[in-house]
Amino acid sequence: MKTIIFDLDGTLIDSTKAIIESFDVAFKTFNKKTPKEEEIKKLIGLPLDIMFENLGISRDVVWDYVDAYKKNYRQISTKKTKLLSNSKEAVIEAKKFARLGIVTTKTAKYSKELMKYFGLMEYFEVLIGREDVDNPKPHPEPVLKAIHLMKASKKNTFMVGDTCLDMVSAKEAGVYGVGVEGDYTPFNELKECADIVKKDALEAVEFIKNI
């Protein structure tokens, strides 16, 4: 049986509004000027501490910013996150022929709450979040951990994601990466790092089904 591991942000869900607002709150908490929205958006997919560091926050205080971000994010995440077009249909279709997991750089606890809110968590056997690994994507550890916990076969496992972080993680883990078009990674860049690129998660699932 096939196994499909999905990314979350930009692949199944759009939580851009919640992310941008929470970064704004974190910077304002410490009387710092909030970076431009586009600067933040192009870093989405990286772990929060790395995002903050890339936005100029020093390592010795970065976790204070992460904590301020999370405090706000947990209050607004369900209200300011939406399912991407065809993502629910993609999950339902994928479940018909594959076992499913999620690998994300988001916090697993809040990711599970989001997926339960959308009525989708029951379709997934595992959800690997930032706190579940030492090395997040693009390192292969989270993908390999999902495969291990599911006792899945690498040769029948596919990773569906919208960034090169997802595709590199998949490749390093020895599984097939299927890219999906999104707002966080330019199409030409994604095409360079993905085995193949599809319009959305549903098209990716249909492609995997027919392999």
Verify that 47 and 98 share a domain, yes or no. no
Q: How many residues does the chain have?
A: 211
**Domain edge (last residue) among 76, 100, 122:** 76
Verify that 183 and 121 share a domain, yes or no. yes
How do residues 76-116 score in pLDDT, each as one tens digit? 999 999 999 999 999 999 999 999 999 999 999 989 999 99
Mean pLDDT of the chain: 95
Copy the structure tokens of residue 3. Answer: 């196994």
Omega within 30 of 0 (cis) for the link into 142: no
pLDDT of residue 186: 82
Q: How many domains does the chain have?
A: 2
Mean pLDDT computed over 180-203: 91
pLDDT of residue 77: 92
Quote the domain boundaries for residue 52. 16-76
Verify that 71 and 142 share a domain, yes or no. no
> pTM score, two decimals?
0.92
Catalytic residue list: 7
Verify that 92 and 135 share a domain, yes or no. yes
State how beta strands 157-161 and 126-128 pair: unpaired
Phi first, then psi: give them for residue 65, nearest 5 degrees.
-70, -40
DSSP category for residue 122:
G
How confident is residue 187, by pLDDT bands cut at 50, 70 and 90? confident
Distance of CA 28 to the CA centre of its chain: 26
pLDDT of residue 24: 97
